[in-house]
Amino acid sequence: MIVDVNDIEKFCEILHHSGKSIALTNGSFDLVHSGHVNYLNEAKKMADYLIVGVNSDKSVKQYKSDKRPIISQNQRAFLIDNLKSVDYVVIFEETTADKLIEKVKPDFYIKGGDYTEETLPETATVKKFGGKIKFIKMTEGCSTTNIINKILDIYAK
C-alpha cells in the first residue's frame, strides 16, 4: 500500500499501538534490480512491518544527478509496493530521511552495508527516537549505475 507522506505519521502511530515492530528503509530505487529485491527481503526479516521511503524525482535529481531518475517516482513506488517483502511505501521529498524518520519513528532503520553509523546522515535522528540502525550487505555487482553504464556501452557501439 502506498501511503501519502502527510498521512504516514498517524498511520505509523496505529501500527506502533498494535504492538508490532516497524523497519524503515529508503532510497531512490531507480531501475529496480535483484540487489534491491535481496536488500528488501533481508530488511523485512528485521520487523513485522517494512516501510520503504522512495525518494521523489526532485530529491533524486538533487543527490544523484540531473539525469536521474530514469523511472518516475510514481512508477518506482508502484514497483516497490508490489514486492512481497514490502508492506508500505511512502514517497518523500528530502534528500535525507530525517523528516520521514521523525514521522515513522521506526524500531529499526535499515541501510546498505556501504554505510556506517558514522557516515549515515540519519544516525542522530534514529537514535533520538530510540531506534536501532541495521546494515545489510549489498549484493555484489548489482547497482543501478552499473546497469546504466552497461546500457550506454552497448548502445554506443
Convert the pLDDT of each residue in 58-115 to its tens digit: 999 998 889 999 999 999 999 999 999 999 999 999 999 999 999 999 999 999 988 9
How far apart CA 12 and CA 31 sit, in angstroms, is: 28
The CA-based angle 60-66-71, given to 5 degrees, is 55
CA distances from 23 to 52, 66, 69, 70 (A): 8, 30, 25, 27
- % of the chain residues with pLDDT over 90: 89
Distances (CA, A) of 31 to 72, 73, 107: 10, 11, 28
pLDDT at 54: 98
- State residue 38's pLDDT score: 96
Q: Is the pLDDT of residue 138 over 90?
A: no
pTM as predicted: 0.94
**HSE-CB for 36 with a 13 A CA cutoff:** 23
So what's the pLDDT on residue 141?
79
Per-residue pLDDT at 9: 97
Q: C-alpha angle with apex 49: 45 to 55, nearest 5 degrees?
A: 100
φ/ψ of residue 107, rounded to 5: -70, -35
